[in-house]
Structure 1
Amino acid sequence: MKRILAISLFLLCSQFSNAQFFGDQILNNENFDAQRWSWGYFLGFNSYDFHFDYEDYNPSPVTGQDFRVERRTGFNVGLVGNLKLGSNLDLRLEPGVSFSTRGFQALKADASTFREISSTYVHIPLLLKFSTDRLNNFKPFVVGGLSTSINLSSNENNPDDNSVGQFRMKTNTYYYEIGFGIDLYLYYFKLSPSIRGVFAINDELVRDEDPDSIFTGNVDKMTSRAIFINFTFQ
């Protein structure tokens, strides 16, 4: 699914670029970038994964891993506030909600260890956006910054653990983010497709009561990683 979305984004940008270079070069929304403040919203897709650091690395001899993570496509929606700092630099706040599901299984045990982890994140990034000069009706950019999220489905305070089927994560997580995209100036609005990597900084795993748990006993740190493909409308 991610490959299809990335290819679609590339083809869209390529088609639009060709039209602007070789078609009629009429500037849409010519004064859009003169605004100090601008607002919008975004819709998009996500794919979350886990990264593990182990206390004693002793993976399965068959797979080379202790755990199998099944990535699935989720959905993002949110708002955008943009402050123009300079001709090629913007500060952006993009509060939103991300819905994701991951399959998770410990490989050194039977199929009963499979967990389906559904998460609803209130995700709040503060980003710097570096853009090129506008080229007709498009403008490439890179973006990066820090973010935090509240996992509304974390189960952090649930007294039950994996011994009764409850996989628990911490509620608050901090990330760094980096990505790229392109601003497309259309007749009525600006459309900005982008791809962004999101990488958690702090450990998100809540340990089981059993120190020898196959889920948490050998894990030194568990962090989320995600790819966001967003379409921003301003």
Structure 2
Amino acid sequence: MNKFLLKVLVLVSVNIAVFADAQFRTRNRMDNLEDFDQQAFSWGFYLNGNSLDYRIVLNPRYGARDNQNLVTSKPSYSFGAGLIGKWRLSDYLDLRLEPGLQFAQRQVTFNTQANDIYQNGSLTNPPFFPIALAEKDRVRDIKSTLVDIPVLLEFHGDRWYNSRPYIAGGVNYIVNLQSNSDSEDDNQQQVFRSTTHNFAWSAEMGIQFYFNKFKLTPAVRGTFFMNNEIVADNPTTPPYWTAAVSTLQTRAIMFILKFE
């Protein structure tokens, strides 16, 4: 269903772009919404499809064996939506606030049975009793509901008839509503914990199309977490899970349709 939604968004934007291009070639055409960008403030909303994955930096002792990574992640395709608030700074600069809600589910696999060799203890872990890792122990399906609040500085060129290209960049404050960060259980009880409050940076590019009644913007945005999201397992938990990971950071690519 999520892949289908992403395909629909792409097809809709392509069809609109083709239609827009056709109207741009009309000789006696009028420019649409000529005074729209002169407003000090304007509003809108957006829909997006996204691909989310984890950037994983492994612990050299517990996360790798014989040049093989013992922890891997699988990306997911999902969707989101949000609101747009724009403040015009100059003819070429706008400040944008685009709070939204993003849904995701990623899969992380811990092939860390080989860490049984540390059962007698080491400098970084106490002794533990080895367990045979079943499928429910190795695979974590991590669901996330993210409240994403990006603040973007947008630089755009001059209008070319009814279109205008732009690039943007900024920072995000992101709250993971399903982080489990306050849970006393950990991966030994099949509970994966991550940080609730996160910070990221974003870069975006797109083209704004002006129609009679509204402005449509297809865009691509990359968002990359700056903080380490991992919450360590309890000290008595064997080093099969978070001990194998030094850094865990979300990275997302979003295809966005904005309506203003």
TM-score by length of 1: 0.90
Judged with a 3 Å threshold, the aligned counterparts in structure 2 of structure 1 residues 171 and 38 are, in CA distance, closer, same or farther, namely same
Per the alignment, residue 18 of structure 1 pairs with 21
Per the alignment, residue 44 of structure 1 pairs with 48
Which letter does structure 2 place at the counterpart of 1:59? A
Aligned positions, number: 233
Contact 1:181 1:194 in 2 (8 A): yes
Contact 1:60 1:107 in 2 (8 A): no
Per the alignment, residue 86 of structure 1 pairs with 90
Per the alignment, residue 64 of structure 2 pairs with 59
Which letter does structure 2 place at the counterpart of 1:165? Q
Q: CA RMSD in A?
A: 2.3
Per the alignment, residue 33 of structure 1 pairs with 37
* d(CA) in 1 for partners of 2:34, 2:66: 60
Residues 1:229 and 2:229 are matched in the alignment: no
Show the 5 A alignment for 1:96-115: 96-109=100-113, 111-112=135-136, 113-115=138-140
Q: What are the ranges of 5 or more consecutive residues in structure 2 without an aligned counterpart?
A: 114-133
* d(CA) in 1 for partners of 2:179, 2:238: 22
Residues 1:219 and 2:245 are matched in the alignment: yes
Percent identity of the aligned residues?
Answer: 33
Which letter does structure 2 place at the counterpart of 1:141? Y
Which letter does structure 2 place at the counterpart of 1:66? L
Contact 1:60 1:108 in 2 (8 A): no
Q: What are the ranges of 5 or more consecutive residues in structure 1 without an aligned counterpart?
A: none
SS of 1:217's partner is: helix
Which letter does structure 2 place at the counterpart of 1:224? T
CA drift at 1:218: 2.6
* d(CA) in 2 for partners of 1:31, 1:95: 25
Which one is further off, 169-178 or 68-77? 68-77
Judged with a 3 Å threshold, the aligned counterparts in structure 2 of structure 1 residues 78 and 4 are, in CA distance, closer, same or farther, namely closer
Contact 1:42 1:79 in 2 (8 A): yes
Which letter does structure 1 place at the counterpart of 2:109? Q
Contact 1:9 1:193 in 2 (8 A): no
Question: Which structure carries more strand by proportion?
Answer: 1
TM-score by length of 2: 0.82
Contact 1:20 1:136 in 2 (8 A): no
CA drift at 1:4: 4.6
Question: Deviation digits for residues 68-119 of structure 1, max 9, x if unmatched?
Answer: 3222222211111000111111000011111111112113345331111111
Residues 1:147 and 2:172 are matched in the alignment: yes
Which one is further off, 26-35 or 119-128? 26-35
